């Protein structure tokens, strides 16, 4: 059970980081395209870039939703264990931060 939780958390955090990077890349690409357009660019061109970016972000949101689902299911099925894990993680992080000072 513990290994299953660790695997789900590791997978979700890794996926979240990947989605964050992909979202940033999509936004940077949109910003680059908009900068490259001249001031006389047509509204349709700008809308096309924004729509393309919106589609990419929606795709990434859907992908992230699929990655988070196993963790959500675990929390719903084991609420007290989830609270204990979160409290333990909080204590560990707090202890590490106190030691740094």
71-100, pLDDT tens digit by residue? 778 888 888 988 888 898 889 888 888 887
Residues 6+ away with beta carbon under 8 Å from 50:
30
11-69, pLDDT tens digit by residue? 666 666 777 778 788 888 888 877 777 666 677 777 888 888 888 888 887 877 777 77
What residue ranges do the domains of the chain occupy?
A: 2-100
Q: Distance between CA 63 and CA 55 in Å, rounded?
A: 12
State the pTM of this model: 0.47
Q: Distance between CA 68 and CA 13 in Å, rounded?
A: 9
Q: Distance between CA 87 and CA 89 in Å, rounded?
A: 5
Q: What is the pLDDT of residue 44?
A: 78
């Amino acid at each position: 059970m513990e290994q299953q939780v660790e695997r789900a958390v590791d997978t979700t955090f890794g996926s979240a980081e990947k989605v964050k990077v992909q979202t940033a890349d999509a936004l940077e690409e949109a910003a680059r395209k908009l900068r490259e357009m001249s001031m006389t660019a047509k509204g349709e061109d700008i809308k096309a870039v924004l729509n393309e970016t919106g589609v990419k972000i929606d795709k990434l949101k859907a992908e992230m939703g699929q990655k988070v689902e196993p963790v959500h299911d675990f929390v719903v099925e084991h609420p007290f264990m989830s609270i204990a894990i979160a409290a333990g993680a909080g204590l560990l992080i707090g202890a590490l931060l106190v030691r740094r000072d």
